[in-house]
Amino acid sequence: MKYVLGKIKVELLLVIIYATTFSLIHQYYQTISINIPIALPTIIGTIISLLLAFKSNQAYDRWWEARIVWGAIVNDSRTLIRQVISFYKDPDFSVEANNFKENFARRQASWCYSLGQSLRDKDPIKPIKHLLQEEELRFVKKHKHVPNAILSLHAKELTKATLSGKINVYQQVEIDNTITRLCDSMGKCERIKNTIFPTTYSMYIRFTLCLFILMLPFGLIDYLGWLQVPLVTTMAAAFFLIEKMAIHLQDPFENRPTDTPVTAIANNIERNLMQMVNEYRDEFAEEANSLAEAQHIVPVKNTYFVL
């Protein structure tokens, strides 16, 4: 309640001052008729309700679109690592292949973190320092758009694997299509972030809402007297909260509690991707141990010598 009411504390304070002043004037200057039919503020209140309902629906659509985009990012991230693990030729279960796949997973997790930080106008490098290698970190620091630089690293490593014969051309096309979908999702998030909700629409709603609050005491003073102060304040709080909710939902990347939880989603992606790589590593270890037992190979510090 402290957080919610804190967003409209200035508006509520002004409403309380206005309603109290109105009651004082009515109490001490009763010769002046300052009442109006209650039907007038009722009509304006109905109009405001319709406008706020429309604005709330439009704002929720933007928030839900952002969540759909990040759902696609989760799916495409898992697909990307699955393709890398399954396509990469590694008949000998080499350490080089394992490092390639693990680095790919770390870069993809870094991309998710950096994208979320960039959308929130925060430092995109800080959460990915422990995931990228030194050369990769130096590369992305040279770019203003860190997520796009990480996708470029994906493409470079994919090209190297193709030239070395670890991945064929058709597999490269499939993986590149997944990277393209990730780039499309990044562009959709930036479109939502940079597209401003029509300012005039918000301004007209605020103007109509203020007019409704200004007229409301005139229609309630003869019926409720001093009780109109808490009633007007409560009704104003309800309308202001709905308006503020719509404003928060229409910007889902502003680092607020109502935002799309991009950091939590990125954490989940990192866990999923590293688990996929670790499962492959465990499979590699089991195959290596089986090979060692079959051929009488002695493992010495991750190096195998044939007796």
The pLDDT value given to residue 31: 53
Render pLDDT for 52-73 as a digit per residue (tens, 0 to 9).
888 888 889 999 999 999 999 9
The pLDDT value given to residue 279: 73
The pLDDT value given to residue 47: 85
**Which tokens in the block code for residue 175?**
């993986």
Contact yes or no for 181/80 (Cβ under 8 A): no
For the chain, give the percent of residues with pLDDT over 70. Answer: 88
The pLDDT value given to residue 32: 57
Lowest mean pLDDT among 71-75, 78-82, 91-95: 91-95
Average pLDDT over residues 227-241: 87
Give the chain's mean pLDDT: 84
Render pLDDT for 259-281 as a digit per residue (tens, 0 to 9).
899 999 999 999 999 998 887 55
Average pLDDT over residues 180-196: 93
For the chain, give the percent of residues with pLDDT over 90. Answer: 38
Contact yes or no for 249/63 (Cβ under 8 A): yes
Lowest mean pLDDT among 14-28, 31-45, 104-118, 234-248: 31-45
- Three-state SS annotation for the chain: CHHHHHCCHHHHHHHHHHHHHHHHHHHHCCCCCCCCCCHHHHHHHHHHHHHHHHHHHHHHHHHHHHHHHHHHHHHHHHHHHHHHHHHCCCCCCCHHHHHHHHHHHHHHHHHHHHHHHHHCCCCCCHHHCCCCCHHHHHHHHCCCCHHHHHHHHHHHHHHHHHHCCCCCHHHHHHHHHHHHHHHHHHHHHHHHHHCCCCHHHHHHHHHHHHHHHHHHHHHHHHHHHHHHHHHHHHHHHHHHHHHHHHHHHCCCCCCCCCCCCHHHHHHHHHHHHHHHHHHHHHHHHHHHHHHHHHHCEEEECCEEEEC
Average pLDDT over residues 94-113: 90
The pLDDT value given to residue 2: 76
Sorting pLDDT into bands at 50, 70 and 90, what band is 159? very high
Average pLDDT over residues 107-130: 93
The pLDDT value given to residue 33: 61
Sorting pLDDT into bands at 50, 70 and 90, what band is 116? very high
Average pLDDT over residues 115-122: 93
The pair phi, psi for residue 303, each rounded to 5°, is -120, 140
Claim: this prediction has a pTM higher than 0.75: yes
